[in-house]
Structure 1
Amino acid sequence: MATTMSRKLHSFRYICRSLYHHQHTAPSLRRLHGLPSLRPQSPQPFQPDKFVGRIGVQSVSVALHRQLCTSAAAPTANTTGKQVDEEKGSGDGGTGSGDSNQSSGQQAKFFRGSPVSWLSFLLLILTGAGIVFYYDNEKKRHIQVINDNSNAVKQGPSAGQAAIGGPFNLVNHDGKSVTEKDFLGKWTIVYFGFTHCPDICPDELQKLAAAIDKIKKKVGLEIVPLFISVDPERDNVEQVREYVKEFHPNLIGLTGSPDEVKKAARAYRVYYMKTEEEDSDYLVDHSIIMYLMDPNMQFVKFYGKNHDVDSLTDGVIQEIHQYIKARAQ
């Protein structure tokens, strides 16, 4: 800081002496060249205070401002903002105008030289917002197209009938041999399971029993519930009879030989397989599906474990109404 002040003071003295020399030597030069003197003056000793008063504060300010700008452009211009403020505070009232111009010039240079201007930053924000808005609209439009296409597929005509169902020859829980023809003329819901099932089969059969009661109450139509065992080794006629009585009086239980059971399961596309055996205690892994069959014992629709009593009831009623409407046309 002391070095800077010393340099400024030296520059100020140099400017004052240069102006003083120009003022007092100019008349002599004019007389040497034969030019008339504008204002003859006699040499006087250099007095800085009076000299400043004569030439005016404005001339000194302009000269000092030029000198300061020249010094700021030199390599020694890496002074901190605090030093610049201190230099401004140490000057008199005449130098305030020059310092203000220098500060505004530095600010202008800062904004001109910055890598990102306010305008470009604003344009960047607007561009980003536009891209996000466009992407969001395109995403919503794509989802809407998918939903529309899905609805169109659901509402379209059937391309054919699924190859589910077929002839079978089994024994009911009363020991009577029955086939699929014994159920013609009635709406039937078929479920494959086994009597030693710990939880899934009882839950599904309870749901089936509640649904057929609701269907009868709503539309006055009786649905025949049909249970087919996939464990013929343990599910004999007596075992099946005791089992179906626990769920609904109209529930019909069917069993048979392993070959006949396999044939019926294959016709309905049902998967089943024994798990690890420990003597006679084992479980059977099988498909958990209910099949709705029309009065011709033709497949209409299947219902999985995800359907509750209400959805199963409403689904069956809807399919029956559509069936009757299609027959009327």
Structure 2
Amino acid sequence: MMPARFIKLSLLRRLGAVRAAEVPPPWQTRLFPVRGYQPRGYSTGGSSKYDRPMRQPVNESNPRPLIYYIVPSAVLAFAGLATYVHYNDEKRAQQTSVPKRCTTNRPAIGGPFKLYDTENNVVTESKLRGNWTLMYFGYTSSPDAGPAEVQKIADVVKLLESKYDIKIKPLFITIDPQRDSPAQLKEYLSEFDPRIIGLTGSISAVRQIAQEYRIFFKKVDEIGQDYVVESSHNMYLLDPCLETVRCFGAEYEASDLAEAITMEVQKASSSSTN
């Protein structure tokens, strides 16, 4: 019979061999059992929206036709070119027909008109463009103030040419077209200065231009065909762009009027050169 000590050592050796067999070597991966994972808060009954299959992305591998991009680009390019050409045409027309200074600060007094001179020629506002103009509204039958103002215009024209070397276009517009025919205007104005241009027209045309230049007039003391026309006696100075730059009342003398006109002409000339 073996001693108890040897039996004990034998058992310990066997137990160590079993444990060594159970422990895998360091280079061998140890496998653990995988437990099932169930997230909290989600149903397992198959009715949840999270159990539905994910939507597959749409395959857009087929490219669009090339014409799909060419046509809109061509339309936009053509529209841009047309706009550019139209803008240049308008700009070129303004530069050739109207001075640059005439495109800004349009006057509140004045406007288009169509009248007739003493030779029955049509005169519109375009005929005045490019010249300094002294405009007066009167009538040939005026008893006192009218002739004095027309004489003042004649004196101003002479002073401007002789003293200041400035040419100006004097304009006499009748406010009595019923009696002031072209022939009557010509005979009347020739007594003062034949350079004064007389204009007349229909009653409606005369009323229109009088309203545009804020001229008041009306018939008074009317007895049959004999009457007096009451009106304001203002003179307007128009620059070559047809802008009304000054308004002169009856209190101006011819010399004062000539100096004021010269100052405006020189001011415009200096501003245009800057």
Normalized against structure 2, the TM-score is what? 0.61
SS in 2 for 1:253: strand
1:221 corresponds, among 166, 169, 181, to 166
The match for 2:251 is 306
Which of 144, 154, 158 does residue 199 from structure 1 map onto? 144
Match in the other structure for 2:109: 164
CA distance in 1, matches of 2:107, 2:214: 10
Partners in 2 of 1:232 and 1:316 — Cα distance? 29
Residue 212 of structure 1 pairs with residue 165 of structure 2: no
Structure 2 distance, partners of 1:175, 1:244, is 15
User: TM-score, normalising length from structure 1?
Assistant: 0.51
- On the 8 A contact 2:134/2:236 being kept in 1, the answer is yes
RMSD: 1.1
Instruction: Map 1:21-60 onto structure 2 (within 5 A).
Output: none
Name the SS for the 2:123 alignment partner.
strand
Q: Deviations over 1:206-240 (max 9, x none)?
A: 11110111111122121110000000111111111
SS at match of 2:225: coil
Q: By percentage of residues, which structure has more helix?
A: 1
Counterpart of 1:265 in structure 2 is 210
Matched letter for residue 186 of structure 1? N
**SS in structure 2 opposite 1:283?**
strand
How far, CA to CA, are the matches of 2:186 and 2:194 in structure 1? Answer: 11
Deviation of 1:161 (Å)? 5.7
Letter in 1 for 2:247: F
2:107–2:243 contact (8 Å) kept in structure 1: no
Higher relative contact order (CA 8 A, sep 6+): 2
Q: Give the letter aligned to residue 175 of structure 2.
A: V
Runs of 4+ in structure 1 deviating by more than 6 angstroms, as ranges, are none
Task: List aligned pairs for 1:177-326, cutoff 5 A.
Answer: 177-326=122-271
Report % sequence identity. 38
1 CA distance for matches of 2:245 and 2:128? Answer: 15
SS at match of 1:205: helix
Q: CA deviation at 1:283?
A: 0.5
Paired residues, what number? 170
Counterpart Cα distance in 2 of 1:173 and 1:249: 11
Rounded to whole Å, the distance in 1 between the matches of 2:271 and 2:214 is 27
